[in-house]
C-alpha cells in the first residue's frame, strides 16, 4: 500500500486527539451531532472508531466471543460485539498504539439511529456499565428526500439534548460557540470532499484504501481547527499529483467503486491485489459518508439536522440508487463492488436488487463480495481474490 506523505502528520494528529481527551467526555455515534457536543466543551469519543481500530489491528476476533457470551449474537454488528467484548476483556488497542490505560470514560453517551438501531443497544450497554446518562436521537429513517417536517423533528430532538449537555458539562449553551464549531466542521468536510474528488481525475491520485486511513480526523475531530488544518495539508498532495498527471496506480486498466463497509483487517492485501491488477478503486460510499454539504453556521440547528438526516445510509433504495448512479457517472466507474458485510445489513446495499437496478440504470457491471467489517470468519481471502480478479478481467 502506497504511503501518503501526510501520514506522519495524521499519526501525530490522531495521537494528540486520543492523548488529549479529558473530561468532560461525551461518547457519540460517528454521524451523531458531534458539533453540538463540542459546543459545550465536551471532548468527543467515537466507539465506532474504536471498532474500526479493533478490525484494522485484527484483534476483533479475540474479543467477539466475550460479547457473544454476554448474549450478543455473533451475527450482529461486529463493531458492537468487538467493542463490548474488548471492554469485557479489559483490553483496547489504544493501550499499545496511543499509551492510554483504557478507553476514555464517558460523562454522557449520545447516539443517533440515523445509521442503524444497533447503536441504541450498543451505547445503552455502556451507559449502564459506566452509570452515565444516555440520550438517543431517533430521526425518520430511510427517507426519499428530507422534508422540512423531518428536519423540524430532528431539530426538536437536538434542542432537547441542550439542557442535558448543560447539566453534565456545567456550561451554558452558547449559540455562537455552536456556530463556530459548525463552521470549522463545514470547512474540514469541504476539504475532505475536495481531497476525495481529486480521484475524479484519471489516473486518480488517492484511492479508497488511502481514504480509509486518512478519514480518521473527519470522524473524530470534526468541529476542530485540527481537522481543518489536517485536510488542508492532505489536499495539497493529491492536487499536486493531479497537476503533474501522476496517479496512485500509473496506468488504470479500470475504475472501481466500493460500496459498503471496508474490510478493516484486509485493507493492505486488497489494496495490493487491486494495484497488481491495475484496477483503481477511486470512490466509495463509506468515505463519502463524512461529507456534509448542508452544514451552515447561519442556521446551525436546522442545517446540522438536515446534514445528519440526509446521509446515504438513512435514504430509501430509490434515493440510494440515484446517488450511486451519479457517483458512477462523475467518477467514470467501470464496475461497482458491493461489499455484503455479514454483520452490517444497514450498510450492505446488495440485498434488495440494487446491483441489478444500478446495472440497468447506470449501465455498470457489479460484483457482490461477501465479507465483514471486523469479523474475518465471514471473509474468505482465496475466494474473494479469485472473484475480484475475475471481475477485473471482465471489466478490462
Ligand atoms: S451501521 Fe453497521 S457497522 Fe455501523 S454501527 Fe450500525 S450495524 Fe454497526
Supply the pLDDT for residue 2: 66
Contacts 24+ apart (CB under 8 A), 164-168: 164/108, 164/133, 164/135, 165/26, 165/36, 165/37, 165/40, 165/42, 165/108, 166/40, 168/24, 168/107, 168/108, 168/133
SS3 85: helix
Backbone angles phi, psi at 101, to 5 degrees: -80, -30
Supply the pLDDT for residue 22: 95
Which atom from ligand 1 is nearest to the alpha carbon of 261? 3
Cell, residue 58:
485484527
Q: Where are the domains of the chain?
A: 1-396
Q: Are 271 and 239 in contact (CB under 8 A)?
A: no
Predicted confidence (pLDDT) per residue in 186-235, tens digit? 999 999 999 999 999 999 999 999 999 999 999 999 999 999 999 999 99
Q: Which pLDDT band, with edges at 50, 70 and 90, does 314 fall under?
A: very high
Q: Which pLDDT band, with edges at 50, 70 and 90, does 153 fall under?
A: very high
CA distances from 138 to 70, 246, 305, 314 (A): 26, 45, 11, 11
Predicted confidence (pLDDT) per residue in 101-148, tens digit? 999 999 999 999 999 999 999 999 999 999 999 999 999 999 999 999
Question: What percentage of residues in the chain have a pLDDT greater than 70?
Answer: 99
Predicted confidence (pLDDT) per residue in 321-333, tens digit? 999 999 999 999 9
Cβ–ligand 1 distance for 118 under 6 Å, the answer yes
Longest distance between any two alpha carbons in the chain, whole Å: 60
Predicted confidence (pLDDT) per residue in 296-311, tens digit? 999 999 999 999 999 9
Cβ–ligand 1 distance for 77 under 6 Å, the answer yes
- The pTM score is 0.97
Supply the pLDDT for residue 198: 98
Average pLDDT, the chain: 97
Predicted confidence (pLDDT) per residue in 241-288, tens digit? 999 999 999 899 999 999 999 999 999 999 999 999 999 999 999 999
Predicted confidence (pLDDT) per residue in 2-49, tens digit? 679 999 999 999 999 999 999 999 999 999 999 999 999 999 999 999
R_g of the chain, CA atoms, integer Å: 20
Backbone angles phi, psi at 335, to 5 degrees: -150, 145
User: Ligand 1: distance of its center to the CA of 64 in Å?
Assistant: 15
Cβ–ligand 1 distance for 344 under 6 Å, the answer yes
**In the chain, where does DSSP find H-type helix?**
7-19, 34-38, 47-56, 60-69, 78-89, 93-98, 118-130, 148-169, 175-197, 208-214, 216-220, 225-244, 267-276, 285-288, 300-309, 317-330, 354-362, 381-395
| pLDDT value at 1 more than 70 | no
Average pLDDT over residues 366-392: 98
User: Ligand 1: distance of its center to the CA of 210 in Å?
Assistant: 21
Amino acid at each position: 500500500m502506497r504511503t501518503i506523505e501526510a501520514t506522519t502528520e495524521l499519526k501525530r494528529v490522531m495521537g494528540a486527539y486520543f492523548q488529549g481527551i479529558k473530561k468532560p467526555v461525551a461518547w457519540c455515534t460517528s454521524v451523531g451531532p458531534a458539533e453540538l457536543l463540542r459546543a459545550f466543551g465536551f471532548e468527543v469519543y467515537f466507539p465506532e472508531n474504536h471498532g474500526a481500530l479493533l478490525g484494522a489491528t485484527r484483534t476483533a476476533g479475540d474479543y467477539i466471543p466475550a460479547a457473544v457470551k454476554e448474549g450478543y449474537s455473533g451475527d450482529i454488528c461486529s463493531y458492537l460485539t468487538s467493542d463490548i467484548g474488548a471492554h469485557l476483556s479489559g483490553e483496547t488497542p489504544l493501550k499499545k498504539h496511543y499509551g492510554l490505560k483504557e478507553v476514555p470514560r464517558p460523562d454522557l453517551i449520545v447516539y443517533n439511529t440515523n445509521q442503524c438501531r444497533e447503536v441504541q443497544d450498543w451505547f445503552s450497554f455502556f451507559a449502564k456499565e459506566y452509570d452515565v446518562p444516555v440520550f438517543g436521537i431517533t430521526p425518520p429513517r430511510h427517507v426519499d428526500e428530507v422534508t422540512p417536517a423531518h428536519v423540524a423533528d430532528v431539530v426538536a430532538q437536538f434542542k432537547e439534548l441542550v439542557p442535558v449537555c448543560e447539566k453534565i458539562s456545567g456550561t451554558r449553551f452558547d449559540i455562537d460557540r455552536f456556530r463556530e464549531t459548525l463552521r470549522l466542521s463545514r470547512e474540514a468536510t469541504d476539504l475532505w470532499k475536495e481531497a476525495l474528488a481529486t480521484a475524479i481525475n484519471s489516473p486518480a491520485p488517492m484511492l479508497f484504501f488511502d481514504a480509509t486511513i486518512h478519514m480518521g480526523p473527519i470522524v473524530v475531530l470534526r468541529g476542530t481547527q485540527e481537522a481543518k488544518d489536517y485536510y488542508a495539508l492532505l489536499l495539497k498532495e493529491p492536487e499536486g499529483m493531479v497537476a503533474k498527471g501522476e496517479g496512485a496506480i500509473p496506468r488504470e486498466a479500470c475504475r472501481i467503486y466500493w460500496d459498503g463497509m471496508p474490510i478493516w483487517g484486509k485493507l493492505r492485501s486488497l489494496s495490493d491485489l487491486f494495484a497488481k491488477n491495475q484496477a483503481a478503486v477511486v470512490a466509495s460510499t463509506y468515505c463519502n459518508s463524512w461529507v456534509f454539504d448542508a452544514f451552515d453556521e447561519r442556521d446551525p440547528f436546522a442545517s446540522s439536522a438536515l446534514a445528519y438526516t440526509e446521509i446515504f445510509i438513512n435514504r430509501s433504495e430509490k434515493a440510494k440508487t440515484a446517488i450511486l448512479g451519479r457517483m458512477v457517472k462523475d467518477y467514470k466507474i467501470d464496475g461497482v463492488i458491493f461489499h455484503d458485510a455479514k454483520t452490517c445489513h444497514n450498510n450492505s446495499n446488495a440485498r434488495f436488487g440494487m446491483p441489478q437496478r444500478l446495472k440497468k440504470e447506470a449501465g455498470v457491471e457489479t460484483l457482490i463480495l461477501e465479507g465483514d467489517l471486523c469479523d474475518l470468519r465471514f471473509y474468505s481471502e482465496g475466494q474473494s481474490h479469485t472473484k475480484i480478479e475475475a471481475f477485473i478481467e471482465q471489466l478490462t
